[in-house]
Amino acid sequence: MSRHVTVRLSSGAVRGRRLDGYQSFQGIPYAAPPVGERRWRAPAPVEPWTGVRDATEPAGPAPQPAQPFAAASLDEDCLTLDVTVPDAAPPAQGAGRPVIIWLHGGGGTNGGSAGFDPHRLAAAGGAVVVAPNARLGVLACFGHPGLADGGTFGLQDQQAALRWVRREIARFGGDPGRVALVGSSYGALMIAAHLVSPASAGLFHRAILQSPFSVLGATPAHTLIPGVPALPPRWIPAAELERFGAATAAEHGWTAPGDDPEAALARLRRVPVAELLQATDAFIRPAYGGATLPESPGTALPAGRFHRMPVMLGTTLDEARFFVGLFAELAGRPVTAEGYPRLLAEAFGGAAAEIARHYPLDRFPTPGLAWAQISTDRAWARPTWELGRALAEHTGTWLYEFADRDAPQPVPLPGFPAGACHAGELAYQFDLPGAPPLPAAQRGLADRMNRYWAAFAAHGEPAGAGLPDWPGFETGHVQSLAPEHIGGTDYAAEHRLDLWERMP
């Protein structure tokens, strides 16, 4: 049974719920709705309200098409956030709780804060957890001639949420000087942008990147999803995005021939959001070259041009099984023994034969699992290792691998062993809709993981009473996280990185 609890913010009072061991506030606006003439503009300040605003129900996510793991939405009024506060005894007099800001994944086009109940993460280490919604896809990363700072609107929304945290989080018992930015998949990619963006400086103090994808470079064909061609770096020059956005708008008939930039943008701001979503998958690459993101993180991070702070990052043991299982095997386009050589040749060219010798089909139960291992090693393990090495040159860095092959599947993959696949660790950090309770051994792992994360938010290193030691990555150490083992693993050997560092 819940009781109401009220917190007074600078914009007005909000009424949340006090539940079993924690307080929950949902759907708090942190910026004005980006609708009408505010579409594709920097987020505007939130408008104050009178009385007490209800914050007991989740707000809708940003506009997005339906996916197997996310519902559709058409509501552009989406700049809200959730706050979860543990009821445990507060820290010493005058000290606030560490703060975790959670950036969800979803490929840049899907997802929202309401899909992640963080009360276990909050309770494990006494942290305040903030989960913002921000614009996605075509509303976040669109560019067009005359559009100021195009391609960065989602990033700017997140920066507005970070400024809200600095301004308001003490009212919830949080410490604005101990803020960890934590994100999975696309959320981790956005953290890489925050590490480089001048406007994010001083707004957070630690970073945790869970399963970051393609931060530093390109991805060979088929290694994200079989059938998908090679992917360029996840960052796009602003001028290139402007040309692409103009061509897309003209192709869809959203602009008219001869429109000047001002007239074209006026037309575009009147296009129904359902029509814009037809092109949303094409606009997921943040643009660099403008004020918000002057330089590509793929260039800036290895050069040490980023906000210095402790960083944790890692992958799951079987990242690519999610993508091969969902988008190939279950979609009726399985990887076959006959098609395996073609995938290798199209992905790796002249190196295909050598890779085939290291990943022969007779070592795997199915061709799909063979390709998933190649994709895990090349598209996830190698880039994360390289990113970790680049960061460790300049700041304290810790690497992990989530390795529970009995983890609950984020999306059911009947007949395909998901293992410790992409997003598999999220059920250990959050209560997810429809997910079954974790068994006892997995609950123990979840508790330790959440205490590692909260300790990192609090102190800048994953260390605490009762937690196994976790040496820094400067020693080459990678921490394996599994119910039966928390400790070092030979990540480089496990993922054949000696081979992959020589490959395309």
Six-digit token string for 168: 């308001």
List active site positions: 185, 319, 422
* CB-based contacts of 422, cutoff 8 Å, min separation 6: 185, 211, 316, 319, 320, 321, 322, 323, 380, 410
β-strand pairing of 12-18 with 22-29: antiparallel
DSSP sequence for 238-284: HHHHHHHHHHHHHHTTSS-TT--HHHHHHHHTTS-HHHHGGGGGG--
Six-digit token string for 338: 């006959």
DSSP sequence for 13-49: EEEEEE-SSEEEEEEEESS----GGGTTSPPPPPPP-
Six-digit token string for 330: 């279950």
CB atoms within 10 A of CB 250: 14
Q: What number of residues does the chain have?
A: 504
Given a contact cutoff of 8 angstroms between Cβ atoms, the answer to whether 389 and 313 are in contact is: no
Spatial separation of the C-alpha atoms in residues 346 and 348, rounded to whole Å: 6
Spatial separation of the C-alpha atoms in residues 432 and 470, rounded to whole Å: 28
β-strand pairing of 80-86 with 52-54: unpaired
Helix (H, G, I), strand (E, B), or coil: what is residue 415? coil
E runs forming strands in 40-88: 52-54, 80-86
